[in-house]
Structures are given as C-alpha cells and as structure tokens.
Amino acid sequence: MEDKDLLSIADARRLLAAASAAAPGLASLSQEGIDAILDAMQAAALPHAEDWARLARDETGFGNVPDKTRKNLFVIVDVHRFIRPMRTVGVLSEDHDRRLIEIAAPAGIVAAIVPTTNPTSTVINKIFIALKAACPIVISPHPNAKACVQEVAAVLERAARGAGAPAGSIGCMTEVSIEGTRELMKHRLTGIILATGGTGLVRAAYSSGKPAYGVGPGNVPSYVDRSADVTKAARDIVAGKTFDNGVLCSAENAVVADSPIDRALVEAMRGEGAAFLEAPEIEALERVVVTPAGSLNTAVVGRDAATIASMAGFPVAPGTRCLVARLDRVGPEAPLSREKLSPILAYYVEDGWEAACARCLEILAYGGMGHTMSLHARDRDVIMKFALGKPVFRIVVNSPAAVGAVGVTTGVDPSMTLGCGALGGNITSDNITPRHLVNVKRLAFELRPYTRGEAVPEPPPRPPREAAPALPAAPTRFPDRESLRALILAAAGRHGVISPAGSASGESAGPRTAASRTEAPPPPKAATRAGPVPFVSEADVRAALLEGRRIAISRKTIVTPSARDLGEAHHVFVEG
C-alpha cells in the first residue's frame, strides 16, 4: 500500500534539493539575466490566460472563466509591468555621503502555498516575484487545484529554463498532503514562506520556524456615506462582490449604508442585479451558508447567486447577480455577517458616519482585522476621519474593494498576496512584491576614525532660547465649570484631540454642516454608556475624562494601547 503522506514528504524533499542546487546559479545571474527570465515567463504565460482560467474553473468549480482570465492577465501584464524596473540583483544603491553601499541578497528558497480560490493567478504572481528576486520556488498547491497549478508551473518552468534559469528553479509538488506541505515549510533548506490559504494553514506557516508572509481572512465592510455618488457606489459594490463570484478575500462582504441614502442605495443596487431577501429567505440562506459547526459551507464558495438561491430553496429573478440580507447584528448569531467567499452581502443601516464607523469595527473584529475595507464618499473630511481609526491596511475609496485592494483600479502595489499586518497576525501590511524576498547587505566604510580611550566629544552648545511671548492678561472673572468645560471641548475638537462629538459612544451626531466640522457641539450630560463599545481610542478616553463619565467595554472591545494605558490609569473603563 502507498502512504500518501510519505510520498508527499519525499516529493517536497526532492524538489527542495533541486531548488538548493539551482540557488547558487540563479543568485549569480546579472539583473539583465534575471529580467530576461521574467520576460520569457511573461511571453509564455500570455497566450494561456484564458486556458488556465478555464482549467481552474473546471477543476475547482469556483468562480467564472471571464473573471479568472482577467485575474491572470492582471498578473501577467500589470504585475510584470510593476516589478520589471525593480533593481533586485547586485548593488542596489550607493550613498557617497554616508559611504554606504547596499547590495541585494536573495532570501532563499521560497515555499509557496497556493489556495483553491485563486489558484492560477496566485501561482503566476508567486513565481514572477520569486524569480525576479533570484529565489528558487517550490509550490504546494491545494489538493483541489493541483492540476491547474501544475500546468502553470510547468509552462513557466520551461520558459525560465530556456531563458537561462538553472534546472530546479521552479518546482511544483505532485504528491500533495498536509504532512508534505508541513515538511516543505519546516525543512532546513526552505528560506521563506509565501502562504495563501485558510487561517489554520497561515498559522502553521508562522509556527514553522521560518520567515513567512501570510494572508489572513477578509471580512470587508463597505461604507456608503450620505455624501457619496450613490449610483456609482452601488455599481462598484455589486461589481466587487460578484467579481469571480466573490472568491477574492478582498471582496466586499457587508454594506453599511448611511440612513439618508438607504432607499436610494437599495434601488441602485437592485438596478445592478442585487436581490434583497425577505426574512424567511435569509433564514434559509443562513442554513446553507454556515454548517451546524459554525464553519463556512464550501459548497457555496464561488458559486453564482442563482445556484446558491436554488440550494437554499427559493427562486430569484433572471439576471440576479448577488443576494443581499438586511441584518442588525454581527457575530455567530448572525451567520451572514462573516466572510462568505460568494456573491452574498450583509446589509446594515446606520445614522451618521460615527455609528457606521462603530458597525464597521464590529464587522472587522468578527474576521478581517488588518485586511481591507472600502469607503464611498465625496466629503473628504469624512473620508479622513473614517479612515484614520480603522484597523485595516487597505482602505479603498470610491472603487470596488475586491479589485482595488490588489491594485487593479488603485495605486497600491499590484499583487495577489496581501499582508494584514500585526492586527491580522501577519508580519507586514504590504501587498507582497519582490522587495519582500530580497535581503539587503550594507557595506559600510569608516566615516570617522576610532581611537581607544578617546574622550567622547562634547555636544555642540544649544542655541539660546527665544524669550517667551507675554501671557494675555487674566480675565477679571473666571468662567464657571460648565463654560470652562465647553471651551476645552471646543478647542480640543478644533485641534483634532477628540472627535467633534466629544464622545466614545459611536452614536450619530446627525446631519453634518460646515459649522459642525469647524466647532464642536456642546457635550452631552456625563453618563456611562448603556452597553460596551466596540472600539476605544486615546481620543475617546480623553473625551470621557473631560466629561466625567466612564466607558463600558467587554472582552470583544478593541482598545488601542495608548487608550488602555490612559484609561486604566484614571479608572475610566467599566466591564459592560
């Protein structure tokens, strides 16, 4: 009998040995030699973009051929165009003033884990950036996407070898198992890991003892402000949610609508093919999307809206592109508030950007910290205030989140591998490029001689201080306590120390006016919030201190480090 785990482990070791033999030759190539290999791989891939999309669709059952073709072309054309000019070999820079020379050094053999949702575009991306960084690569495909990934790797390997890459520079496992993948990640010859997949796999990559770039889950909220172009917002949201049937982790998962534009947004989304479900349909959909154990049912992943509706037992109109469920809660009790990897949207209505901000924080905390969110607004003040406090590292403005986050419609670095930063348990918040696979040596020449026992030179004298401006004359009558508090809050609001509302409650401040953006309104009466807040910043704590109230928090509340230090020092927090 064959032991599949042993065969997979042996396969990983064989490919790593071949990659190790190839590494010195690959590292010895000039920048011109590396770029010739990259160009040859691009030329070989270009005619196959649609064929590979069809292979992936047929093997996995996820997504659709046109959108998978677009993803393949995005990597083959746009990623290639972005990384082609990068200096990744030899001397990177020389600083004559500091007498410092920076020299590239490959990070080593790349262990690349490829998912079933975006297999061909992801493997093209990883092969391109690895070879551009002069790193051999060994690929472990998802078992349900093995054939299409092996086909891509074989074509690119032939092209690379024909352009001068040593044999073994690109390897792909044919015997795939969890144990084989673990061996690939932990093996002494592996230099660095590029892991794209489920949470468990990414955690395994980080616990392997090797440097790793992992991609966490995305539960992307999309806020539509009252200042938005509602027609365009609806078009972008439905386009992003339905792109390749929603399998991108950067795809929109929930809409948070500002209440004044709720009806207009619903009608605009219906015009784009969104079906808003009734309560019985939502309940039926929940039973299909989430298993009794609380996990995502993979049978719905990457399927079209009509197929999913049929699985749930209700019909939808012809031309329906996505299913929308109105919700008022986030968490396990609202199964559709999680990442769904399919054309299904949760839909929330909140009054004002502050309340919407709190709702988006809830959604991100339920899965998606550090990943992506989108924002549709024309009020720049709202855009900046909304964005500054969000625990994500890609905020896509007035564009579909699904493709904006990877760089199709925005100026972020184009990539199919998106870091989620420390908030998402990742080492970087960047879109991964060849720069992340190149280590830098620094050749440092002496700037000043060192003599043993030499006294430390005295620091240069400080310039004399300018005379302090005269203080204004004291008022003849000191203001009363309430007037003083109002003056402090108004000044703090003007300088951005606290939010204009002066509150950590996240409740709406009502319609915005020019006056409300320049001067804070009078603070509410001091009181403790009835329930725990989802997010607390340092500004929220300062506002609570000024107002003489406490902030209710729970174990799920996200508290920034500076807010926790200040709040605990002044006993501001209460368990809610």
**Cβ density class 501-526: b for 16+ within 10 Å, e for less:** bbbbbbbbbeebeeebeeebbebeee
User: For the whole model, what pTM was predicted?
Assistant: 0.78
Q: Is 249 a catalytic residue?
A: yes
42/45 Cα distance (integer angstroms): 5
pLDDT at site 493: 56
pLDDT at site 128: 98
Pairing between β-strand 91-95 and β-strand 100-106 as defined by DSSP bridges? antiparallel
**Residues 141 and 172 sit within 8 Å (Cβ to Cβ):** yes
Mean pLDDT of 179-197: 94
Place of tokens 């785990």: 5
pLDDT at site 570: 84
Mean pLDDT of 220-242: 97
User: Pick the residue with more confidence: 218 or 432?
Assistant: 432
Mean pLDDT of 424-432: 87
Mean pLDDT of 290-319: 94
pLDDT at site 474: 42
- Where are any strands of DSSP class E within 398-450? 438-444
Mean pLDDT of 497-507: 42
Lowest mean pLDDT among 17-31, 481-495, 549-563: 481-495
264/126 Cα distance (integer angstroms): 42
Mean pLDDT of 371-388: 92
pLDDT at site 287: 95
pLDDT band of 482, cuts 50, 70, 90: low
| Average pLDDT score over the chain | 87
Mean pLDDT of 16-36: 97
Query: Looking at the predicted structure, is the pLDDT value of residue 262 above 90?
Result: yes
32 SS3 class: helix
**Residues 396 and 375 sit within 8 Å (Cβ to Cβ):** yes
Give the model confidence (pLDDT) of 29-76 as tens digits: 999 999 999 999 999 999 999 999 999 999 999 999 999 999 999 999
* Eight-state DSSP code of residue 555: T
Query: Looking at the predicted structure, is the pLDDT value of residue 312 above 80?
Result: yes
pLDDT at site 360: 93
Q: Please report the domains of the chain, with CATH numbers, ordered by start residue.
A: 4-216+433-442 (3.40.605.10), 220-412 (3.40.309.10), 481-575 (no CATH)
Give residues with Cβ within 8 angstroms of 435, minimum separation 6: 86, 88
pLDDT at site 485: 53
pLDDT at site 537: 75
**Residues 139 and 149 sit within 8 Å (Cβ to Cβ):** yes
**Cβ density class 271-295: b for 16+ within 10 Å, e for less:** ebbbbbbeeebbebbeebbbeeeee
pLDDT at site 464: 73
**Helix (H) and strand (E) counts in the chain:** 20, 19
User: Pick the residue with more confidence: 102 or 505?
Assistant: 102
**Residues 569 and 541 sit within 8 Å (Cβ to Cβ):** no
Mean pLDDT of 385-396: 88
Give the model confidence (pLDDT) of 321-331 as tens digits: 999 999 999 99
Mean pLDDT of 456-468: 68
- Where are any strands of DSSP class E within 217-332? 220-224, 252-258, 274-276, 322-326
pLDDT at site 293: 86
Q: Exactly one of 148, 172, 249, 322 is catalytic; which is it?
A: 249
pLDDT at site 505: 37
Query: Looking at the predicted structure, is the pLDDT value of residue 522 above 50?
Result: no
pLDDT at site 317: 96
Name the token pair of 177: 């198992």
465/477 Cα distance (integer angstroms): 33
160/172 Cα distance (integer angstroms): 14
Mean pLDDT of 529-546: 77
Name the token pair of 234: 């609806």
Give the model confidence (pLDDT) of 546-569 as tens digits: 788 889 988 777 777 677 878 888
77/75 Cα distance (integer angstroms): 6
136-150, 475-489, 520-534, 549-563: which has the highest mean pLDDT?
136-150
